[in-house]
Chain A
């Protein structure tokens, strides 16, 4: 069944359009920055973008920061929200279950497909933006002055101002990719749960987006500080800490933990609901 679901995902034009759009936005940004050489000053605009001008190999991280707030969650919510509700509204759910495909099996297959999609999307963004970054900004080891320190053979500045070696950048980008993939899985789990509640994939996807936006509002609200550590978006940007020297693990660990809780709770709820549901679509 997993193979069937993956085939369906791959053969669906929409999956490719979404990933193409995801990859296109950072490229667009890169072109503008490369042409004008006007980067946002450090601390403003998308994170890390100011560092990219001097070295392209940091661009994957900047690209992830660009797609993370809206594009990536939307595409994940659409795929996850479509997983059960889409089958229901196309009328295929009843045929799949009568084939029979066990309900748990179907849900697991949908989940595996979702994970594959999330990983593929995040890695695709990282890979295309790496190519773009190298192409437009180069990766020549350059001497950088930052905070008064000049280091030969160091290709990029970390956020804290000390240099990073190429291997360091690669490793840290991989860490960031993993962190973002897990965060997106949290979004996907919420959308998947909603997808078992409704027969409308649009409603499920928008419901998940609404949850994220609500969480974002509360995170920014000082008055809601008491609950913010438990909100899904609270640690979304913690992966930036991978680019500090030394890496600040505290928020990264908490981010992983909170997403694990969200994934577990919502997948559990999705399973409980779907396994006991009357399929009348």
Chain B
């Protein structure tokens, strides 16, 4: 679906994107992660032909971009950074204009009203009134932006923070919608700071740091079992004795055991007459993983100021709620 090779973008002296080799396959739910200013947005803009690469190639849906962007873009729905609309018009009027602005399709004008209604329906704005978008809440704007991306049923959705500004219910709704779309064959490329969002939706992740792709793999592989077992037991002391030497870590009633088989460990504990509250294989969390790959450079400059800067980025990555606010703060540097 998306293949980039050696994708590089330089803005003057600043190397924003540095030899990125993305690979998004048909049917993927791809999570694109990275701290602020790491080049995520620039990559997304290059995929859509808005920013021209300095070097390297992009292939989207089998065609080179930006050379053949006009053939490819009609099959892509995009939400870029934040939703936009003409504030003085209603949501419906906005979608009608956006739909009319696209390339001509058969029956385009005849079916426009229906297409717009369908898109609004899908994102939960089906019965929205005619108020101007200026008066929309952040969540409604976000839904409207998604509706615009869904017009004309795209094969590929490129979304940047699609659940920004939505309440938990809205987030669940959008996640279900994206899941449904993906099940019916739409490939989803989701760029986000929100690790939990990516973890819950995506099957594959790419992590970008300082313009370089530092990690790209299946989420199932990345967050697979670590080969250790976590146990919570009120009889932690005795359990440690029973498991003799395999205890890697103990914190109150929680133990980490160097053993891949939770069932076996459980059997041993129960056989020894110990109570077990919780037991299960330990899994790598996406958060730890992302922090380890993007945080590795935290002292790369070797200076306190530079460290603080890195710390800020890493923090923005993991602090779910503050992600968008951080983004706004660092907006200048994120391009």
- Stretch from A43-51, A90-98, A160-168, A207-215 that touches the partner: A90-98
Question: Does A8 have its Cβ within 8 Å of any Cβ on chain B?
Answer: yes
Q: Tell me if A100 and B80 are in contact (CB < 8 A).
A: no
Q: Specify which of B50, B76, B78, B93 is in contact with A279 (CB 8 Å cutoff).
A: B50
Interface residues of B in 249-267 (CB under 8 A from A): none
Indicate if the CB atoms of B80 and A8 lie closer than 8 Å: no
B49 within 8 Å of A (CB atoms): yes
Max count, chain A CB within 10 A of own CB: residue among B84, B98, B103, B335: B84
* Contacts A94-B45, A94-B80; A100 near B102 (Cβ below 8 A): yes
A99 contacts the other chain (CB 8 A)? yes
CA distance A3 to B102 in the complex (A): 12
In the complex, how many angstroms separate the beta carbon of B209 from the nearest chain A beta carbon? 20
Q: Give the distance to chain B from A109, nearest Cβ to Cβ, in Å.
A: 9
Pair B85/A98 contact, Cβ less than 8 Å: no
Residue pair A100, B69 in contact (C-beta under 8 Å): yes
Q: B280 contacts the other chain (Cβ, under 8 Å)?
A: no
B84 and A97 form a contact (CB under 8 A)? no
Is A261 in contact with chain B by the CB < 8 A criterion? no
A99 and B51: CB pair below 8 A?
A: no
**Interface hits, A85-132 → B, CB 8 Å:** 90-92, 94-102
Interface size class of B (residues with CB under 8 A): 20 to 34
Of chain A, the residue at the smallest CB distance from B87 is A90
- Interface presence of B148 (CB below 8 A): yes
A119 CB, min distance to chain B CBs, angstroms:
23
Is the Cβ of B148 less than 8 Å from the Cβ of A8?
no
Q: How far is the CA of A280 from the CA of B101 in the complex (A)?
A: 20
Among A12, A91, A99, A100, contact of B82 (Cβ-Cβ < 8 Å): A91
Within 8 A of B (CB), among A224-252: none
Which of B88, B93, B101 is most buried by chain A, counting CB atoms within 10 A of its CB?
Answer: B101
Contact between chains at A97 and B49 (CB < 8 Å): yes
Collect the chain B residues with CB atoms within 8 Å of residue A3's CB. Answer: 100
Task: State the CA gap A222–B81 with chains docked (Å).
Answer: 54
B279 within 8 A of A: no
Checking B50, B85, B100, B101 against A94 with a beta-carbon cut-off of 8 angstroms, the contacting residue is B50
Contacting A at CB under 8 A, from B220-256, are none
| Smallest CB separation, B58 vs chain A (Å) | 14
Residues on the A chain within 8 Å of B50, using CB:
94, 97-98, 278-280
Q: Mark B74-94, 1 if CB is under 8 A from A, else 0.
A: 101010111111111100010
A101 touches B97 (CB 8 A): no
B223 to chain A, nearest CB (A): 32
CA distance A239 to B93 in the complex (A): 42
Contact residue among B11, B73, B84, B87 (Cβ-Cβ distance under 8 Å from A100): B73
**Of all chain B residues, which has the CB nearest A102?**
B70
Asked if residues B73 and A278 are in contact (CB atoms below 8 Å), the reply is no
B84 contact set on A, CB distance < 8 A: 90-92, 94-95
**Chain B neighbourhood of A90, CB < 8 A:** 84, 86-87
Tell which of B50, B85, B87, B103 has the most Cβ of chain A within 10 Å. Answer: B50
Q: Are A98 and B51 in contact (CB under 8 A)?
A: no
Instruction: List CB contacts (< 8 Å) of B44-79 with chain A.
Output: 45, 48-52, 69-70, 73-74, 76, 78
Cα separation A98 to B88 with both chains bound (whole Å): 22
How far, in whole Å, are A94 and B102 apart by their CA atoms in the complex?
A: 13
Minimal beta-carbon separation of B39 from chain A (angstroms): 12
Are A11 and B89 neighbours in the complex by a CB distance under 8 Å? yes
Interface pair A101/B101, CB less than 8 Å apart: yes
- List of B residues within 8 angstroms of A276 by Cβ: 52
List residues of chain A with CB within 8 A of the CB of B335: 280
Nearest B residue to A109, CB-CB: B101
Separation of A12 and B132 alpha carbons in the complex (Å): 12
Chain A residues with Cβ under 8 A from B80's Cβ?
94-95, 98
- Pick from A13, A92, A280: contact of B85, CB below 8 A: A92
Q: Is the CB of B101 within 8 A of A4?
A: yes
Residues of A within 8 A of B70 (CB): 100, 102
B101 engages A278 (CB within 8 Å): no
Contact A278:B52 (CB < 8 A) given known A3-B100, A11-B89: yes
Check A1 for interface membership: any CB of B closer than 8 A: yes
Output the least CB separation between A193 and chain B (Å): 20
- Checking A91, A100, A280 against B49 with a beta-carbon cut-off of 8 angstroms, the contacting residue is A100
Could you say which of B48, B86, B87 contacts A8, with CB atoms under 8 Å apart? B86
A13 to B87, CA, bound (A): 12
Q: CA–CA, A13 to B86, complex, Å?
A: 12
Interface residues of A in 47-99 (CB under 8 A from B): 90-92, 94-99
- Tell me how far the C-beta of B6 lies from the nearest C-beta in chain A, rounded to whole angstroms: 18
B278 → A minimal CB distance (Å): 47
A99 touches B45 (CB 8 A): no
Q: Are A278 and B51 in contact (CB under 8 A)?
A: yes
Question: Does B98 lie within 8 Å of A95, measured CB to CB?
Answer: yes
The closest CB in chain B to the CB of A5 belongs to B101
A100 to B83, CA, bound (A): 16
Whether A7 is near chain B, meaning CB under 8 Å from some CB there, is yes
Asked whether, in the complex, the Cβ of B73 is within 8 Å of the Cβ of A99, the reply is yes
Q: Could you list 10 A-B pairs, sorted by A, with CB under 8 Å? A: A4-B101, A7-B100, A91-B81, A96-B98, A98-B78, A99-B103, A100-B69, A100-B74, A280-B51, A280-B335
A90-B87, A278-B11 given; 20 more Cβ-contact pairs under 8 Å: A7-B100, A8-B97, A11-B88, A11-B89, A91-B81, A92-B85, A92-B86, A94-B80, A95-B84, A97-B49, A98-B73, A98-B76, A100-B49, A100-B69, A100-B70, A100-B102, A102-B70, A276-B52, A279-B50, A280-B51
> A interface vs B, CB < 8 Å?
1, 3-4, 7-8, 11-13, 90-92, 94-102, 276, 278-280
